[in-house]
Amino acid sequence: MKARFFYWLKTHLGFSGKESRGFVLLVPVLLLLVAAKVALKEIRINKAKNFHLHYLSKIDSLESAGVALISSPYPVFNPQDTSATKPISKKLDNLNKIPFAEADSVTLQIVPGIGQSIAGRIIRFKESMGGLHSRSQLNEVYGLKPETVEAMWDYFDFVPDIFRKIPVNKADVKELAQHPYIGYSESKVIVAFRNQHGEFSSAEDFTAIKIFKQDWINKISPYLDFQ
């Protein structure tokens, strides 16, 4: 068998006897290298998973301590929170589709891809904003993937629901800056402009503050009360 294999190498590949023996010795080495590469890749993946799970628990600890997290440059891995599976119509037949504004951290977990931590973040985000006026705002929730946001509307109906607005003509710098969309610097400019030019009558008045972009004005306007 060995002689026949060497003969095949000689006739088809032009290997000499020495080259054939070297080739036979090389094959197991190549197989070992491939196996080692696969094993190392699996080790790196598992290490990355463990790191992200640990990182996510640290983030949750910070949030529990009252630290507000808006975004992070780091990825987040949580199999329960990031899995993207299509809803099964048979399961949907057993559920009532309720308004998103009525969803709590328990009912949100019916959506594939939303676990306990993500559900809690969604509720905290909604509360800190004072309600949501657009579906797309959920893409700002830390760790919530766009495909998971899209899947939510198989289970919930979205209706704009702003339950808390900022009295923009009465609020001071600190009160304005408490809203996630308004920073301390923007708050100082708003109050200074109001003191100099009088009360705002509508969001359109903000365009007179040339430093503010129109996109940002449109973003905050649903949360402003001009009474």
> In terms of C-beta distances under 8 Å and separation of at least 24 residues, what long-range contacts does 139-145 make, across chains too?
140/70, 140/71, 142/59, 142/69, 142/70, 142/71, 142/72, 142/76, 143/56, 143/59, 143/76, 143/78, 143/81, 143/82, 143/117, 143/118, 144/81, 144/114, 144/118, 145/82, 145/84, 145/113
Whether residue 17 sits in one domain with residue 56: yes
Whether residue 86 sits in one domain with residue 56: no
Q: Please compute the mean of the pLDDT values over residues 77-97 and round it to a whole number.
A: 59
Q: How many domains would you assign to the chain?
A: 3
Residue 156: what pLDDT?
95
Whether residue 199 sits in one domain with residue 172: yes
CB atoms within 10 A of CB 191: 17
Q: Does a structural domain hold residue 72?
A: no
Ranges 53-57, 104-108, 174-178: which has the least confidence = 53-57
Residue 164: what pLDDT?
95
What confidence category does residue 176 fall into, taking pLDDT thresholds of 50, 70 and 90? very high
Q: At 221, list the tokens.
A: 């306007």
Segments forming the whole domain that contains residue 199: 166-225
Whether residue 140 sits in one domain with residue 109: yes
Q: Where are the beta strands (DSSP E) in 91-134?
A: 98-99, 131-132
What confidence category does residue 72 fall into, taking pLDDT thresholds of 50, 70 and 90? very low
- 225, containing H or E segment: strand 224-225
Q: Does a structural domain hold residue 71?
A: no
Which of 141, 162, 183 is at the close of a domain?
Answer: 162
Whether residue 85 sits in one domain with residue 48: no
Q: Does a structural domain hold residue 73?
A: no
Which of 162, 182, 209 is at the close of a domain?
Answer: 162
CA distance 79 to 16: 54
Reported pTM: 0.59
CA distance 224 to 41: 51
Residues 3-54: tens digit of each pLDDT = 665 565 566 666 666 666 666 676 677 788 888 888 888 888 877 767 766 6
- SS3 readout for 22-44: HHHHHHHHHHHHHHHHHHHHHHH
Looking at every residue in the chain, the average pLDDT score rounds to: 82
Q: Does a structural domain hold residue 99?
A: yes
CA distance 187 to 196: 14
Whether residue 106 sits in one domain with residue 36: no
Whether residue 175 sits in one domain with residue 101: no
Whether residue 205 sits in one domain with residue 191: yes
Percent of the chain with pLDDT over 90: 57
Q: Does a structural domain hold residue 93?
A: yes
Q: Does a structural domain hold residue 74?
A: no
Q: Does a structural domain hold residue 32?
A: yes
Whether residue 157 sits in one domain with residue 119: yes
Whether residue 181 sits in one domain with residue 150: no
Residues 106-143: tens digit of each pLDDT = 999 999 999 999 999 999 999 999 999 999 999 999 89
Q: Does a structural domain hold residue 29?
A: yes
Whether residue 158 sits in one domain with residue 91: yes
Whether residue 170 sits in one domain with residue 156: no
The CA R_g of the chain, rounded to the nearest whole Å, is: 29
